[in-house]
Amino acid sequence: MREHTTFGIGGPAAGFHFPDSRSELGKLLKYAKAEELPVYYVGSGSNLLVSDEGFDGIVISIAKTFTDLDIRADGSVFCEAGVMTGKFVRDISRAGFTGVETLSGVPGTVGGALVMNAGAFGHEISEHLRQVTVLRLNGEERVYKKAELNFAYRESSFQEGEFIISAEFKFPAGDITEIRNRQEMASLKRRKHQPLKYRSAGSIFKNPPSFAAGYLIEQTGLKGARSGDAMISGRHANFIVNLGKATAENVMELIKRARKRVSEQFDIRLELEIELLGFSRKMLTKYALSTV
């Protein structure tokens, strides 16, 4: 899995598949359900930490295959879940529609962005959503209207075993110069403040109410702290970077350290924004975390 995550960390999965159609994906899900095999959906592998032991199940990615993006003259957009968020933002902005340009630089796929309700600079991907089509483990498709879904900060109500395959949006027209300026400002802020030189999984923790997680960690003096080849970034303390050969346990040690220091100094419990995959119950108990 280290070859399939932006962190560059993780042991082997039992299987890794790129289904090239809804039919093939449906057959794969039915097989996994019949054989009682765990299934995990991954986009581009951002926002994910996989254990050093790997994952004893099937990992499915549609990042290379479900990539249709259709932007219509009225601002309605059909997007398959494997489209990279960067392309989604870029193409919609170039077409003169507004509402998504501040997500410029957000990693991953549109499907993954919807699951975690990705956002940046006060805007979230769910704002202009109209409906989402998912595929369930039994091969059944279901269409959710936006009103049937619940979105919150870095959360959505999609159920375990539901795989997003496409979504439809409606964006308003905007001034192309203002759109471009907001897009460039968002990109500039990311380049200035985020450690893009090294591999990472993006923000490690959710921002607690009224605070930025990076600020809290910085105040504890943990910027630059290391465990093996994992380091709390000196540029942005809510990023843990892989300096080359970091292990999942190195990252978990820094997560534990940051949570402990912030809890002691501010009485705030930081919650993970990244997802964890393949960790044993013993390891999770050690670090007081939960996962699939």
Catalytic residue positions?
154, 203, 273
Distance CA 38, CA 43 (A): 17
Q: Report the sign of the C-alpha dihedral through residues 199, 280, 165, 75, in that order.
A: negative
CA angle 82, 84, 87 (to 5 degrees): 130
CA angle 12, 15, 16 (to 5 degrees): 90
Residue 37's nearest CA partner among 45, 27, 29 is 29
In single-letter form, the type of residue at position 276 comes to L
End-to-end CA distance of the chain, in Å?
15
Q: How many CB atoms lie within 10 A of CB 218?
A: 16
**Cα dist from 189 to 97, 173, 255, whole Å:** 22, 24, 25
Token duo for residue 263: 């809890």
Q: Which residue has the tokens 């959505």?
A: 156
